[in-house]
Amino acid sequence: MYDNGQPLYQDDHFQDHLDAEVPVQVYYLDAHKDIGFVHHYSPHFIKINNILYNRGMFTFISRPGY
């Protein structure tokens, strides 16, 4: 599906991770902030662990097998 460490940015990336229950790691600048499963996404936010992360401020990385 996705490589470990692959950046996610398109809606279909988040939908794939939601459907397959693949973890996503969240970074702000170069600092790790969270890791969890996508619960919902919109054009502006990704909901992981009941927290809304702004898609323009955070980086989302695929973590299959985590």
At 64, list the tokens.
């299959």
Task: Give the domain ranges of the chain.
Answer: 6-62
Give the model confidence (pLDDT) of 21-47 as tens digits: 999 999 999 999 999 999 999 999 999
Do the bridges between strand 59-62 and strand 24-28 make them parallel or antiparallel, or are there none, so unpaired?
A: antiparallel
CATH of domain 6-62: 2.30.30.100
pLDDT at position 65 is 76
In sequence order, what E strands does the chain have? 7-8, 24-28, 31-36, 38-41, 45-48, 51-54, 59-62
Q: Is residue 66's pLDDT more than 80?
A: no
CB 37 within 8 A of CB 23: yes
